[in-house]
Chains A and B, each alone.
Chain A
């Protein structure tokens, strides 16, 4: 019992913070890369291909996290920075997917009437498409956040640090309490991200109703 309290008091805070930083940086960069990418893929020139693109993204989403980390290891090396890059790339897909889905599912009549009242293409994007697709995009960010929090634990294998350190130490030293604490904290963090982002959506829903 004492040991658990010791871990929680002395080791955990730093590791949680580390984990949080890795996740936040990876998630933020994933958002800034994936949303514009998603928007780009729904523009008129690429629209005919959007079904194929979504199919490819769907397939890519199936690639396991450890495989993604392993594939990039050869090119990026081991350490903190490579872990973040791998996590960011892994988190890109759900956000891009949902951005595309959110924008392409908008009722064409709405877009036509937006054009009809004389909004420019950029105006339509900023004032109509993105706000309407926003809930779906947030849902993608939620998925991505949960994935990144979980995968960050595995990224310890290439030296990410964070809660993965606790979990892997527990496994290699047969100290289940370390693994359990790491798992619980990591699960909690995933849930907090999920709920936090979800509450943004709920607030928007209220506003529209």
Chain B
């Protein structure tokens, strides 16, 4: 009850923090999409390079996000700025997005590619008209995972000066204001679930009916 009271009393501030939260992950996702999809496409036929990059990506995944922030802020040029926060989020999106692009492009049925080649489609045409559309569901799933993950990791960016829902948790803990912490926790959880749900809806709308109808 007291949590609800806290929420209502501070609704303006909370709305503000939520918007900041969304803004940060949107910004990071734009960069992540451009960077990791391009790289995923570039490395699609270079297995050794791809395995190397995927190794790097999974090491990044195993580093606690809070310490990536901690390291980034000490690098000149990054510091306690939004750049550090965005950069860290982009790094964490590497594995889910790049890996899914690479795997999905390579998983397209060989006979389909052969048919396309046999019909005289150029490499670029095969990539854009056949491989990418067929890989799209898997790529989208990767983006969805990355986005939901970003909601959580962005929370920790409050320790390097970002203002977002994580602030409620951070300040709540230092002030031992439990209603504030709970409000923050619940809102972050809800935001993650909503983002996931919205992505699921978009997924249904965007994917070619030829790819998800039961045969």
* Chain A residues within CB distance 8 Å of chain B: 59, 62-71, 73-74, 78, 146, 149-151, 153-154, 157-158, 163-164, 167-168, 170-171, 174, 176, 179-180, 182-184, 186-187, 190-191, 194
Given A64-B189, A70-B188, A174-B74, answer yes or no on A154-B179 (Cβ-Cβ < 8 Å): no
Q: Are A70 and B181 in contact (CB under 8 A)?
A: yes
B29 located at the interface, meaning its Cβ lies under 8 Å from any Cβ of chain A in the complex: no
Given A158-B173, A174-B74, answer yes or no on A180-B186 (Cβ-Cβ < 8 Å): no
User: In the complex, what residues of A have CB within 8 A of residue B70's CB?
Assistant: 167, 170-171, 176, 179-180, 182-183
Given A64-B192, A171-B159, answer yes or no on A153-B67 (Cβ-Cβ < 8 Å): yes
Q: Are B188 and A179 in contact (CB under 8 A)?
A: no
Chain A contact surface mostly: helix
Q: Are B173 and A157 in contact (CB under 8 A)?
A: yes
What's the Cα separation between A73 and B172 when bound, in Å? 10
Smallest CB gap from A183: residue in B: B67
Q: Are B192 and A167 in contact (CB under 8 A)?
A: no
What's the Cα separation between A182 and B196 when bound, in Å? 31
- Residue-wise, chain B 185-204 has the 8 Å CB interface mask toward A (1 for contact) of 11011001101110000000
User: In the complex, what residues of A have CB within 8 A of residue B153's CB?
Assistant: 64
User: In the complex, what residues of B have CB within 8 A of residue A63's CB?
Assistant: 152, 188-189, 192-193
Smallest CB gap from A71: residue in B: B185
Q: Are B166 and A74 in contact (CB under 8 A)?
A: no
Contact among B74, B155, B173 with A73 in the assembled complex (CB-CB below 8 Å): B173
B77 located at the interface, meaning its Cβ lies under 8 Å from any Cβ of chain A in the complex: no
CB distance from B85 to the nearest CB of A (A): 13
Q: Are B152 and A64 in contact (CB under 8 A)?
A: yes
CB distance from A174 to the nearest CB of B (A): 7
Contact among B71, B74, B188 with A64 in the assembled complex (CB-CB below 8 Å): B188
B151 located at the interface, meaning its Cβ lies under 8 Å from any Cβ of chain A in the complex: yes
Pick from B9-17, B31-39, B58-66 the stretch touching chain A: B58-66
Range class of the B interface residue count: 35 or more
User: In the complex, what residues of B have CB within 8 A of residue A191's CB?
Assistant: 59, 62
Smallest CB gap from A189: residue in B: B62
B57 located at the interface, meaning its Cβ lies under 8 Å from any Cβ of chain A in the complex: no
CB distance from A136 to the nearest CB of B (A): 19
What's the Cα separation between A181 and B70 when bound, in Å? 11
Q: Are A67 and B188 in contact (CB under 8 A)?
A: yes
CB distance from A125 to the nearest CB of B (A): 30
B126 located at the interface, meaning its Cβ lies under 8 Å from any Cβ of chain A in the complex: no
Q: Are A187 and B63 in contact (CB under 8 A)?
A: yes
Smallest CB gap from A163: residue in B: B64
Given A67-B155, A74-B179, A179-B71, answer yes or no on A59-B66 (Cβ-Cβ < 8 Å): no
Q: Are B68 and A183 in contact (CB under 8 A)?
A: yes
Smallest CB gap from B169: residue in A: A70
Given A66-B185, A69-B185, A171-B160, answer yes or no on A180-B193 (Cβ-Cβ < 8 Å): no
What's the Cα separation between A35 and B69 when bound, in Å? 35
Given A176-B71, A190-B62, answer yes or no on A66-B166 (Cβ-Cβ < 8 Å): yes
User: In the complex, what residues of B have CB within 8 A of residue A73's CB?
Assistant: 173, 178, 181-182, 185
Smallest CB gap from A154: residue in B: B66
Q: Are B67 and A62 in contact (CB under 8 A)?
A: no
Q: Are B182 and A62 in contact (CB under 8 A)?
A: no
User: In the complex, what residues of B have CB within 8 A of residue A187's CB?
Assistant: 59, 62-64
Smallest CB gap from A172: residue in B: B159
